[in-house]
Amino acid sequence: MESADQRGWDELIPEVLGSIFSNLSLEDVLTVVPIVCKSWYKVVMGPYCWQIIDIEEWSDHQCHLNQIERMLWLLIPRTNGSFRKLSVSRLQYDHAFSFIADNSHSLQILRLTRSKISDSIVEQLADRLSSLTFLDLSYCDKIGTRALEAIGKHCKSLVGLCFNMHPLDMWEKPSKKDEAHAIATTMTKLKHLELTYICIDTTSVLEIICNCPNLEFIDVRGNWDVKLDNKWLKDKFSKLTVLGPHVVDHLEKHCCYECEDSSNYSDSDYGSWDESDDDGRLEIILYQGQDEDCDDGWPPSP
103-158 confidence digits (pLDDT tens): 998 999 999 999 999 999 999 999 999 999 999 999 999 999 999 999 999 999 99
Strand bridging mode 134-136 / 85-87 = unpaired
Give yes or no for residue 166 having a pLDDT over 80: yes
Name the amino acid, one letter, at 150. Answer: A
Beta strand ranges found along 232-299 (DSSP E): 241-243, 256-258
Does the pTM of the predicted model rise above 0.75? yes
Q: Which 8-state DSSP code applies to residue 6?
A: G
297 within 8 A of 36, measured Cβ to Cβ: no
Give 257's contacts (C-beta < 8 A, 6+ positions apart).
228, 230, 233, 234, 241, 242, 243
Residue 301 reports pLDDT greater than 70: no
Per-residue pLDDT at 281 exceeds 60: no
Instruction: Dump pLDDT digits (tens) for 18-77.
Output: 777 777 767 777 776 766 777 777 777 767 778 889 999 889 888 788 889 998 998 899
State in Å, rounded, how far the first CA of the chain is from the last one.
19
Q: How many CB atoms lie within 10 A of CB 114?
A: 17
